[in-house]
């Protein structure tokens, strides 16, 4: 078993945002300050280049500098999301796999401790997609030299449902630390994925921002979530209470987290990145000038007010 398994078990890893200005330029001074402030909290690690951080949208140079900034700011383990960048010219599954491997190599070169492999959604429709998915993870591990986190990602974000059999086969790989579920609102899929990992000894990682508390009751033992990119303590309190067996506090903490999730994770779901940036601004983690998401949908007037009103109520 890789030593990171026990180091990360029971901990919270925020999937961090990437501060940008209104032109979509990464605000590196703001990123440096954000990284220092966020890692003052009791986090087990951080996840960069993930969906929350718009990792697949960043240029290779920006990805490298984002990772460098976090590596300089903290000694906690860094997990880097790797997949097919939006700028990639990949037209075939082979080319998509090549692009994923290239991104994993870059993560290793930049000092990441592990990589989280974005799913290639087209594999879900192929007769041999299961075998190809396992082979992709084996190749990423072999060519990057890093341990892996599997990533069962909901379709709205570009993923596809991983079967329990695929979860078990991924977790059987020596290089696999665990599998993260991010099924959005698919309770059955989340339950089945977590239950498939029972007895493996690997990490059962929740990425369920809207089913956070329930996912621990179903068996998750670690968290890697975008909702922790701001207001870290809301997420940490739920995990801490569950791990301690303090069920009364768990219910209280879950209610607070759920209220925040309801104000940030709703349709259009892709708008959650901007909503989390607003939350980070309110908290003082970012300036207003660095709290833009150029890649998300246009949001309705008043959505920012909803986030702020929720935070003010939670902190009364």
Confirm if 228 and 12 have CB atoms less than 8 A apart.
Answer: yes
Longest dimension (CA), the chain: 54
Q: 4-29 as b/e, with b when 16 or more CB fall inside 10 Å?
A: bbeebbebbbbbbbbbbeeeeebbbe
Per-residue pLDDT of the chain (316 residues; tens, 9 = 90+): 899 999 999 999 999 999 999 999 999 999 999 999 999 998 999 999 999 999 999 999 999 999 999 999 999 999 999 999 999 988 999 999 999 999 999 999 999 999 999 999 999 999 999 999 999 999 999 999 999 999 999 988 888 999 999 999 999 999 999 999 999 999 999 999 999 999 999 999 999 999 999 999 999 999 999 999 999 999 999 999 999 999 999 999 999 999 999 999 999 999 999 999 999 999 999 999 999 999 999 999 899 999 999 999 999 8
Q: Which domain holds residue 148?
A: 3-314
Can you give the CATH number for the domain in which 309 is found?
3.20.20.70
Number of domains in the chain: 1
pTM score above 0.85: yes
């Amino acid at each position: 078993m890789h030593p990171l398994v026990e180091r990360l078990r029971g901990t919270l890893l925020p999937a961090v945002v990437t501060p940008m200005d209104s032109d979509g330029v990464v605000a590196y001074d703001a990123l440096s300050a954000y990284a220092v402030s966020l890692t003052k909290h009791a986090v087990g690690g951080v996840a960069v280049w993930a969906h929350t951080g718009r990792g697949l949208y960043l240029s290779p140079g920006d990805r490298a500098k984002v990772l460098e900034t976090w590596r300089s700011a903290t000694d906690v383990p860094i997990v880097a999301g790797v997949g097919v960048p939006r700028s990639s010219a990949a037209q075939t599954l082979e080319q998509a796999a090549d692009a994923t491997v290239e991104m994993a190599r870059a993560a290793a070169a930049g000092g990441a401790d592990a990589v989280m492999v974005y799913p290639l959604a087209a594999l879900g429709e192929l007769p041999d997609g299961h075998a190809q998915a396992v082979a992709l993870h084996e190749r990423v591990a072999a060519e990057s030299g890093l341990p892996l986190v599997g990533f069962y990602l909901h379709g709205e974000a570009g993923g596809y449902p991983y079967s329990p059999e695929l979860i078990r086969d991924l977790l059987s790989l020596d290089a696999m630390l665990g599998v993260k579920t991010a099924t959005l609102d698919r309770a059955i899929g989340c339950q089945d994925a977590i239950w498939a990992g029972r007895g493996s000894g690997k990490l059962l990682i929740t990425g369920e921002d809207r089913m956070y508390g329930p996912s621990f009751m179903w068996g998750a033992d670690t968290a890697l979530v975008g909702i922790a990119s701001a207001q870290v303590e809301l997420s940490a309190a739920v995990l801490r209470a569950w791990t301690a067996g303090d069920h009364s506090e768990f219910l209280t903490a879950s209610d607070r987290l759920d209220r925040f999730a309801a104000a940030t994770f709703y349709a259009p779901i892709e708008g959650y990145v901007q909503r989390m940036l607003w939350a980070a601004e309110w908290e003082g983690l970012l300036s207003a000038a660095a709290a833009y998401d150029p890649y998300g949908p246009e949001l309705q007037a008043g959505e920012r007010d909803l986030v702020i009103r929720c935070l003010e109520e939670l902190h009364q």
